[in-house]
Structure 1
Amino acid sequence: MIEFNGWAIIRESFKEEDDNDKLLNSIVNKIELKISELDYGNEIYSLKGLNGTYHLSIMANHNHRTEHVIDFFKWISHISKGSYGILYVQDDEDIERGNENKFKVWVMKKGKVSEQNDTYLSPMNPEVEE
């Protein structure tokens, strides 16, 4: 099983002086289009504007490993350099890397996404399960 839970704040720039509403609206439209193209079961994507800020939520749960959710998260960082957020991933099939009992955290900031170790829920047994 692989589980994804995450969020991102969608911004066009990480420098306030580079803010551009037209560019932000274009980015939001691209993300909405991409979400409409993601035709996978067991996934929820929600992009909402709240008080002038766009919030993306991601939840997914699959029986077997899939990379498209992480690829989508990376794509967002590529098209909107100011976006930031985290994507928690628990993949019990990530045995080769020794992560079958751990959460990994994909961190988005300043146009890049990096995989980090989780310190709050890992190891899954005994932190979350027994």
Structure 2
Amino acid sequence: MFEFHGWAVLRHHTHDTEDAEQELQIEKLFDFIEGVDSEGVITRKIRNGLVSLEISGLHNHRQQYVFDLFKKIAELLPGSYGLLYIYDDEDIGKNHDHSNEFVVFKLVRGHLIQEQDYYLSPYIPTVEDNG
């Protein structure tokens, strides 16, 4: 299973934001979202000048669009920040085994950085029982 939960505050700059440039980049991001969110798992919010989004869902297998969304945010809106939690029971590679843990991606200053999860991992027995 591929489970994902994330949020991001969308900002073009870390401090002063040029409204026209920010609006242009957010429009580009929303166009990108329209092309990848066929199941409606991404929620966009605008409230009191804060533009944010949330993503949450579950697929049978890894879906690249989840990662691509956060990479696109980092590219278009480098002042953005947020977190993406991924649980993928098939994530076993040559040098890693994340099949029993969440992996956290930190979005900050135009970078998406993989971090270790200390709150919900190991998945079994922290979240689920071994059954």
Structures share a fold, TM > 0.5? yes
CA distance in 1, matches of 2:128, 2:57: 20
Unaligned 5+ runs, structure 1: none
Structure 1 CA distance for aligned equivalents of residues 38 and 31 of structure 2: 15
Provide the C-alpha distance between the structure 2 equivalents of 1:7 and 1:94, rounded to a whole number of angstroms: 22
CA distance in 1, matches of 2:42, 2:37: 11
Cα separation, 2, equivalents of 1:51 and 1:39: 25
Identity across matched positions, percent: 38
1:13 aligned partner, one-letter code: H
Distance in 1 of aligned mates of 2:38 and 2:92 = 24
Q: Is the 8 A contact 2:33 2:69 kept in 1?
A: no
Shift of 1:39: 4.6
In the TM superposition, residue 61 of structure 1 has moved relative to its aligned partner by 1.3
Q: Does 1:34 align with 2:32?
A: yes
**Over residues 15-53 of structure 1, what are the superposed CA-to-partner deviations in whole Å (9 max), with x where a residue is unaligned?**
x23x10001111221121111111544x51111111101
**DSSP 3-state at the match of 1:54:** strand
TM-score by length of 1: 0.92
Structure 2 gap ranges (5+)? none
AA aligned opposite 2:18: N
Deviations 1:60-114 (A, max 9, x none): 2110122221111111111101000000000000122211000000100000001
- SS of 1:25's partner is helix
TM-score, normalising length: structure 2: 0.91
Q: Aligned with 2:69: secondary structure?
A: helix
* Matching residue's letter, 2:104: V
SS of residue matched to 2:9: strand
Find the counterpart in structure 1 of residue 115 from structure 2: 116
Amino acid in structure 2 at the alignment position of 1:98: D
Give 1:74-85 correspondences, 5 Å limit. Answer: 74-85=71-82
Partner of 2:2: 2
- Structural mapping, 1:80-119, within 5 Å: 80-96=77-93, 97-119=96-118
Supply the AA of the counterpart residue of 1:75.
K
2:62 aligned with 1:65, yes or no? Answer: yes
1:35 is paired with a residue whose SS is helix
1:57 shift after superposition: 0.5
Equivalent in the alignment of 1:25 = 23
